[in-house]
Chain A
Amino acid sequence: MTSHERDPLPERLRSAIDGLAREIEPRRDAWPAIRSRIDAERVVPLHTDGRPPCRAARRWPVAAAAVLVIAASTVTMLASNRQRRPTADGAAFNTAVGVGAGAARVASDRRQLVADVCNSYDAAADDLQRVLVARRARLSPKTVQVLESSLRAIDQAIREARAALEVDPASQDLMDLLDSVYRQKLDLLRRANALPLHSS
């Protein structure tokens, strides 16, 4: 640090800085929907009267809130780990999330999630496959053969994983494996569409 940097600020500059707004809000017309959600969850400043923020009298609500947050996070994490991680003696990953109507609702939600994910991937794959169909005649027959056999293997894997998820929609591992196969499909299609074409 130079001596110049250690010097106090000139009075004129200091007053100019003090006069600046503490926050600059984004324009109201930008992303109104996002804006309204941010406003709904706006954090209220703990001190607005210029006093130091860490007064002892104000510490306990913050500490209590912190304890609550940590406790809630821990419970959530434990519950999540119990659901996702295997046990050392080889028990199944996929413990039920609940029983009765609650479990049925969770299963239904998960099935819907799986369907939504698959629909999104399928739509993207369809787009890429349309491009591939248009280019297919100008790819080498050897490459077309490789692509067809690979896509068959991938589609078979997707069908099997989806069928397993129908039976066990809570399985995060199945979901991850399905996601991996779908990503492979999209990547293969993208790579196929980037291959050089024959001139004839």
Chain B
Amino acid sequence: MPYRLFLVIACLLAPFTAVPAQQKIDRRLQLDATGMFKFFLSSGAVRVVGWDTDSIAVTGTISTKSQFYLGGGRQGAKGGVEGDGVEAMADLIVRVPRRARLWVRGGEADVRVEGMSGPLDCGSASGSVRIEGSSDEVVAETMGGDLVLVGSPNYLRLKTATGRVDWSGTGEDGAITTVSGRVTVHGGMTRRGRIETVTGDVRYDGGIAAGSVLAIDTHAGNVDLRVPKGTNAALVVTAAISDLFGLRSMGDPAKSPSGIVQELGGATSGATLTIRTFKGRVTATSP
């Protein structure tokens, strides 16, 4: 009984002993509406929010052992938290002009961006990245962290290694790359798109516009394609095992994956959807 009591007390106190002392941050700096802003932090979390004011405002807390910096001019500024690991733990909200060009990186920190319409370049090594907004150009990458995008940029580049990618929206020109991270797309690419994984599964739930080209390459991931009813495109699949709209095909495992072409809706639109996997399974369905 005393042992259990000691354990409970230790668990209750643990969070307080792990958190270093904190200092409050409240800093502001002028920045033009379309100025460039770069921000870096090592660990913790940063939430960047676009607003309709020509200035940057940073509020929140950082650990006392780390140092906050913010400087620059009206056309370009940078800020961040210096330090490593728990000693540089930060929890910040950064407000920037909505149309600003934003570059933000978190070493192990989670990055969240909301309400921006300017070009975005966001990343974190092992933290996650979440973007919601109307930016026309989005480049985002993580290593192990998940990457979530809700938006429809015309230019899109998303990369992770083991992290999951989840995109809801449409875009003209998109490329998504992971190693083992699962890729989920709700919406799709309307002109040209490429999704590449090594072992990560891919789920593409969306249409393909006339004349567009979409390619999905994966070594060992399974591909789940869900296209809207009435889709008009050439579907070219190379896989050992496939189930395309109920038409099952099983290749010879001793040989190379075999190829199948299906002309959806007569395939008169000029759109091509190519799926290749070395040992994954391809499934295509339509409601």
Contact = CB atoms under 8 A, between A and B. Distances in A.
B105 A196 contact: yes
Q: How large is the interface on A (under 10, 10 to 19, 20 to 34, 35 or more residues)?
A: 35 or more
Interface in B162-207: 162, 177, 179-180, 196, 198-199
- Say whether chain B's binding surface is mostly helix, strand, loop, or mixed: loop
Interface in A181-200: 181, 183-184, 187-188, 191-192, 195-196, 198-200
A140 B179 contact: no
Contact of A86 (B141, B217, B260): B260
Nearest to B107: A196
Interface string A87-118: 11011111000000000000000000000000
Nearest to B145: A146
A188 B181 CA distance: 13
A93 B259 contact: yes
Interface in B100-151: 105, 107-108, 125-126, 141, 143-144
B71 interface: no
Given A154-B198, A180-B217, A187-B159, A161 B256 contact: no
Contact of A146 (B161, B255, B276): B161
Contacts of B40: 196
B278 interface: yes
A195 B179 CA distance: 17
A27 B179 CA distance: 48
Interface in B252-283: 254-263, 276-279
A181 B255 CA distance: 20
A154 B199 CA distance: 8
A124 interface: no
A177 B239 CA distance: 11
Given A88-B261, A142-B144, A149-B180, A171 B198 contact: no
A185 to B, nearest CB: 9
A150 B217 contact: no
6 contacts: A157-B278, A167-B254, A174-B278, A180-B196, A181-B219, A199-B83
Given A139-B125, A198-B85, 20 more contacts: A86-B236, A86-B238, A87-B261, A88-B263, A92-B255, A93-B257, A94-B255, A140-B125, A146-B144, A150-B179, A160-B219, A160-B278, A164-B278, A167-B255, A188-B161, A195-B125, A196-B107, A199-B83, A199-B84, A200-B84
The 7 residue pairs across chains A and B that have the minimum distance between CB atoms: A86-B259, A146-B144, A157-B219, A93-B259, A150-B179, A150-B161, A142-B126
Interface of A: 85-88, 90-94, 139-140, 142-143, 145-147, 149-150, 153-154, 157, 160-161, 164, 167-168, 171, 173-174, 176-177, 180-181, 183-184, 187-188, 191-192, 195-196, 198-200
